[in-house]
Structure formats: structure tokens, C-alpha cells
Amino acid sequence: MDLELVTVGTELLLGFTLDTNGAEIARRLSAAGIRVVRRTAVGDRADEIREAELERARPRLRTLSDEERREVETLTAQIVNKLLHEPTVRVKEAASEGAEEYAAALRALFALDEERA
């Protein structure tokens, strides 16, 4: 069996943190007879993760028409937006009420940038 190992974390992607967990997982998978054919690091941002997962799924989606692939991409973007909508609204409300600590914590937790917050 071949496998792609995906690690999540902007600090891994940018090289601020050494990916020792991914290396250990890859060694254990190899010892179990599973071939790790690719290791990918994606950032913490939801859209980055969505795009990376879509890229990984492309071989399985090759039978879809261009229109169907666009529909899948649109659907996944809508799901991400819906998941982030409520936290984003709450951050805006908290910031407008002067609860900067709460807003800062939520921005950090959900990696929300200024445009989305």
C-alpha cells in the first residue's frame, strides 16, 4: 500500500519547527509495510488544507468532468466558509464590544487574518 503523509501546521510548512512527528509516523508506517510515497506539509489555514486535500484527491476525481470538478471545489469552499462563519462573526462582535483578549484568542485559535476577522 502506498500512502501520502500530510502534516498540518504553518510552523512546519515554513520550517520553524522540525517535523519529528511526521518522521516518526513515516518510519512506523514503513516498518508496517506501508510505503510513504510523499510527505506534504500544509498551513493551518482552512483554505490551505482544503486545497491540499483537493490536490490529493485529484487522481480519484479524474473521471469527473471539468464542470463536476469545479462543483466539488465550490462545495468544499462553501463548507469551509460555513464552518468559519460563526467564529468570524463572534470575533467581530467581541472586538466591537471591546473584548480584545477574546477576539485575539479566537483569531489565534482559528488563524483568522484581518480581512476575514
Q: How do residues 1-41 score in pLDDT, each as one tens digit? A: 888 888 888 778 778 788 888 888 889 999 999 999 988 88
Whole-model pTM? 0.54
Does residue 50 share a domain with residue 39?
A: no
Q: How do residues 47-62 score in pLDDT, each as one tens digit? A: 888 998 999 999 999 9
Question: Does 64 have pLDDT greater than 70?
Answer: yes
Does residue 52 share a domain with residue 5?
A: no
The answer to whether 51 and 8 have CB atoms below 8 angstroms apart is no
What whole-number distance in Å separates Cα of residue 116 and Cα of residue 11?
Answer: 21
Question: What's the total number of domains in the chain?
Answer: 2
What whole-number distance in Å separates Cα of residue 35 and Cα of residue 41?
Answer: 18
* Percentage, residues of the chain above pLDDT 70: 79
What whole-number distance in Å separates Cα of residue 80 and Cα of residue 55?
Answer: 16
Does residue 63 share a domain with residue 10?
A: no
